[in-house]
Amino acid sequence: MVRLPFENRRSAGNLLAQSLVAYRNQRDLVVLALPRGGVPVAARVAEFLNAPLDVMIVRKLGTPGQKELAMGAIASGGVLVLNEQLIASAGIDQETIDHISTCELVELKKREQMYRKGRSSIKLKGQTVLLVDDGLATGTSMRAAVQAVQSSEAGRVIVAVPVAPPDTIEDLYQIADDVVCLQTPEPFGGVGLWYLDFRQITDEEVIGLLHDAQTHSQKSNIE
């Protein structure tokens, strides 16, 4: 039994990796991290499984006047997931949705360029894709990520996270091929409650971890 809280994201990544040992050295496996918090977790998973690491950028669409409340999310490739119930109850019109989505798509593309430093994204067609984050609350971002990977014609899509509420995990089972979650505490409250160290990850740290992962992958291929 994995005990909460996790020490930090690196520690959570080590524990998550152990639960995914069946995928170790699988040739068609790709690990995709949701930045920024998911990258330190995914970096440990990718190293342990001996798999390449890339990012799946997802931007939440904040509700007008309540930016922290997500009315949806947009992922790499322009895949859009909306919370129709929230949009209807808040009376948000299509023009507003389009405007916010366009702004977030611009930011998404900037981050893709910044994180990859000119590297091409990993091809996902026919691959087994492991989507990793440091935890989930509503799961809106992860649902967008799953749909984005599916639109790339991946062979299988697996969601892997250290912690999330039970209902979010149940929802993801409806769209992903498999879901791995170490703990599903109730009441949940928020992802940060389940980490002793939940400091914000910087863009520089993300870039460094991706660079280290690429270097490790290249050495493994040579050997």
Domain boundaries, the chain: 9-222
96-114 pLDDT, tens per residue?
999 999 999 999 999 999 9
Tens digit of each residue's pLDDT (9 = 90 or more) over 176-212: 999 999 999 999 999 999 999 999 999 999 999 999 9
Which band of pLDDT confidence, cut at 50, 70 and 90, is reported for residue 220?
low
Q: What is the mean pLDDT of residues 165-186?
A: 97
* Residues facing 157 on adjacent strands: 129
Mean pLDDT of 87-93: 96
Residue with tokens 């990796």: 17
Cα(80)–Cα(143) distance, rounded to whole angstroms? 10
Cα Rg of the chain (Å, integer): 17
* Three-class SS state of 155: coil
CATH C-level class of 9-222: alpha beta
Q: Can you spell out the DSSP letters for 117-146?
A: TTPPPPP-TT-EEEEE-S--SS-HHHHHHH
Q: Report how far residue 98's alpha carbon sits from residue 160's, in angstroms, rounded to the nearest whole number.
A: 31
pLDDT class of 82 with cuts at 50, 70, 90: very high
Closest CA to 206 of 4, 14, 37, 24: 37
Averaged pLDDT for residues 86-90? 95
